[in-house]
Chain A
Amino acid sequence: MAKLHVSTSVNGEPMEFLCEPYETMLDALRGQLGLTGSKEGCSSGDCGACSITLDGRLVCSCLMLAAEAEGHEIRTIEGMAKGGQLHPLQQKFLEHAALQCGICTSGMLVASEALLAKNSNPTEEEVRFWLAGNLCRCTGYDKIVRAVMETAAEMREARP
């Protein structure tokens, strides 16, 4: 079977790749596109390590066929920092030690950014339920939740 040709936009840049019909977006990101920041933890949508946004909506890239990226806007962890400038969430994660092994971190950050884009003043409970789809085995989530809430507070203050 011939491969499918896909034209899409990833982190604001036009990209093209070939893929098998059954390949997932995660396969394409990590394989053809060389963007290994999104991680594979389970391939069944239960761990969130592969989280990306599709037209601004938070999704698991392992639950999306690569071919579905055609004509859409994908954003991954690699697009979070602007040039050399870390996103406030990334900086806060570092300051709060909100990561240990780092395998869940890409997904956590993409999911957290999606939350703050929707809700700039989340309660602790709202943060916890939003991130329920991002498994972490190292941290017990405590420092992650603190980092997200503190970032939200700082971003609210910074807004003109």
Chain B
Amino acid sequence: MNVVDNKWIGQRTIRPDGVDKVTGRAAFAADTTMPGMIWGKVLRSPHPHARIKSINTAKAEALPGVKAVVTSRDVVDFSIEKGAVMLGIQDMRWMCRNVMARDKALFPGHPVAAVAATTEAIAAEACKLIEVDYEVLPWAIEIDDALRDNAPILHEWHKVDGKPSNVMSRLEVKKGDIAQGFKDAEIVIERSFTTRPVHQGYIEPHACLISVAADGNTTIWSSSQGQFMVRAMTSMLTGIPQSDIRAIPAEIGGGFGGKTIVYLEPLATLLARKSGRPVKMVMTREEVMRATGPTSGSKSTVKIGAKKDGTIVAAHGAFYLQAGAFPGSPIRGAVGCSFAPYDIPHVLSEGFDVCSNRSKVAAYRAPGAPIGAYAVECVLDELAERLKMDPLELRLKNAAKQGTKAAHGPVFPRIGYIETLEAAKSHPHYAAPLGKLQGRGVASGFWFNAGGESSAQVNITEDGNVVVTTGHPDIGGSRAGIANICAELLGIDYNRISVIIGDTQTVGFSNLTGGSRVLFASAMVVTQAADKVIATLRERAAKIWEIDPEAVKWENGAAHPVSPNAGEFKPLTLADLAEKAPSQGGPIGASVQLNTQGAEGGFGTHICDVEVDAELGIVRVIRYTAVQDVGRAVHPSYVEGQLQGGVAQGIGWALNEEYIYNRDGKVDNPGFLDYRMPVCSDLPMLDTVLVEVPNPKHPQGIKGVGEVPLVPVMAAVANAVHNALGRRFYSLPMSPPKVSAELDTPAELAAE
């Protein structure tokens, strides 16, 4: 890791929002209150699939304490016939139906009405008084059931080859000619894999507090990954102009993609408008698990052809992803990322978006990519085994590098994939001895990363310190990274910089916190804003010294003459110039808004050791090392944190997390007791290796880091289990009953 020449970039500073978070002072959405506040609750469909024939809210409205009731009549309609209305990657036709069912309830938990009342208890009571006439319909949840002939169809208007279908779209990327490729192959392996839906698992349920004044001026506090997204979606779904909506990002208690859309905000806004009172809505854990988007369950088939020397010549992936109630599963990630680490001449990667009667999926950390990588990286492991090659050597032999044309289109610039493989290979973990019933697996992964719009303001306070206002909610420590960068650029002590996150009325448009883009994008605009500020400071010093601004340099927090030739002047510090600002043309500050470009994808290579209790089928991860090319680790601790967090989520996905449905099509495990995320005692220390191959297109060399860490994990764990037991698992999770059943099956009969 490079900390040479850097006073602040690369340092493990204390994050600016840290003290509030360790003392319980930080304000999350559910912590906020407003005078006159009332409570909102949602009535949800008990049925997986039903036509809503009528809703009668009269009794609810009459209950004392009830101040407002809303139904889909109150939500702006985006009619299906008029075609897609996109907000980022979300189609508002689905968003408006997702926040409240219109003609059909499409999953158990689908909102059908909402009530605001003076207490939560009264609001809940009122919900029970709403009479909904449902015509219950047959339902299908699993991909296979949704694809069957005569499967219940969620969206009757959608036809494929003239027949109603639950396959809402298909995506493909192609390179070369796979028919030829497989002909050239000397060894071909084809395997099918399934994964269950898993939830992002943020510990903070969705929450918001919204006030709508009589003139429509709306204030929103909410837990979200994007206050501009909240403003835009709420505006589109309620009809209130964006300029009248102030969306304030509260501190957010985890998102991982699941909070890149809205659930409660439009409903609370409508309730607040109708009642004239601020409305607070907080989901219960059960509502989160039943009614918010997890990621897709999947069925994938991957076929890889190679020469006997390990050169991969052809690859075909078909990825069926469960979208839930409305179209929009992350097939793009599965299709585009799964083969990206490899230079393969012939590739066909196809994705199928399948609707079924469960909640609509939402983004989950590198959406689609972990699903695809699980399949591809397991097949590669099998290929390596067959060829008697070291699995990292196989990957090195086929590794994408600068100049490789990826199947999903771009030609890779300078990337760090090979570096991650080499770092993994030479890591002591890779050579450490293994004991009985222990095994080691490796896997790699890729994620696109993103740039996108960002705005920032850098303002100098009258007493010579700095306030930086950025536009993205901080979910991983980005404020600390920004403060490091700003301190470095301005040459002042880190503690003199305050970084705050603006709301929609106080900072320029900034796109979502997601896509591994926050530090990449905000650093770019903060850098440009800081550069402008420095230019101003140099001009002001030049004026005082009566020399040319070209003859002034900014160094170590002060203006200096460039050389003794320019003159002998005492340096002017930031405080000096701030003090003089009023008489020198006014406040010193700059604002920059950009659609940032130059984001490059990231690569990771992971090593996982497991130990299996073969009698009970319990797999435990006993050692883990995640290597990733991170561009530049502006704040190493928070970069490590991203790797460790993604690894922990992947281990849960691999071993124990899954949605379990009962025979009525309802989620049987809608809580943390039976939705089994890793607890502290489940995991070992999680080692990380940050390979820094700076992104040449970014002023600090930054690359997105947040999503890659989840991509290789399930395959790494599955490959480790194979190494320990000699059995491959083609479905997740590898929970004890499944592992035990597999081990009880004689090897010849075991699933192949």
Contact = CB atoms under 8 A, between A and B. Distances in A.
The answer to whether A and B touch in the complex, with CB atoms under 8 Å apart, is yes
Interface of A: 20, 30, 35-44, 46-47, 49, 76-78, 80-81, 86, 90, 93-97, 99-106, 109, 124-125, 127-129, 131-146
Interface string B675-687: 0011111010110
Contact of A90 (B22, B679, B680): B22
Best-surrounded residue of B477, B641, B647, B683 (most CB of chain A within 10 A): B641
Contact of A138 (B254, B284, B635, B680): B254
A114 B648 CA distance: 25
Interface string B235-279: 000000000000000011111100000000000000000000000
Contacts, number: 175
B24 A77 contact: yes
7 contacts: A35-B24, A43-B284, A47-B672, A99-B18, A137-B203, A143-B644, A145-B685
B15 interface: yes
B76 interface: no
A20 B120 CA distance: 12
B25 interface: yes
Q: Per DSSP, are chain A's interface residues mostly helix, strand or loop, or mixed?
A: loop
A44 B681 contact: no
A141 B648 CA distance: 9
B24 A37 contact: yes
B480 to A, nearest CB: 8
Given A102-B17, A137-B645, A138-B475, 17 more contacts: A39-B253, A40-B30, A46-B672, A47-B672, A86-B19, A99-B18, A99-B22, A100-B645, A132-B679, A135-B672, A137-B201, A138-B254, A139-B641, A139-B644, A141-B648, A142-B686, A144-B680
A96 B636 CA distance: 11
A115 to B, nearest CB: 11
Nearest to B121: A20
A94 B637 contact: no
A41 B683 contact: no
A138 B645 contact: yes
B645 A140 contact: yes
B204 A145 contact: no
Interface string B649-685: 1000000000000000000000111000111110101
A49 B203 contact: yes
A84 to B, nearest CB: 10
Contacts of B635: 97
A99 B644 CA distance: 12
A58 B647 CA distance: 29
Contact of B254 (A78, A101, A124, A127): A101
B298 to A, nearest CB: 22
Interface string B203-224: 1110000000000000000000
Contacts of A137: 200-203, 254, 256, 645, 648-649, 677
A126 to B, nearest CB: 10
B183 interface: no
Contacts of B671: 42, 44, 46
Contact of A128 (B254, B677, B680): B680
A41 B203 contact: yes
Contact of A101 (B25, B31, B253, B672): B253
A44 B25 contact: no
B285 interface: yes
Nearest to B199: A137
A140 B683 contact: yes
A24 B147 CA distance: 46
A86 B685 contact: no
B23 interface: yes
A44 B637 contact: no
A141 B200 CA distance: 17
A141 B672 contact: no
Given A40-B30, A132-B680, A142-B644, A97 B24 contact: no
B641 A143 contact: yes
Nearest to A37: B24
Given A46-B671, A96-B637, A103-B253, A142 B685 contact: yes
B22 A101 contact: no
B494 interface: no
Contacts of A81: 23
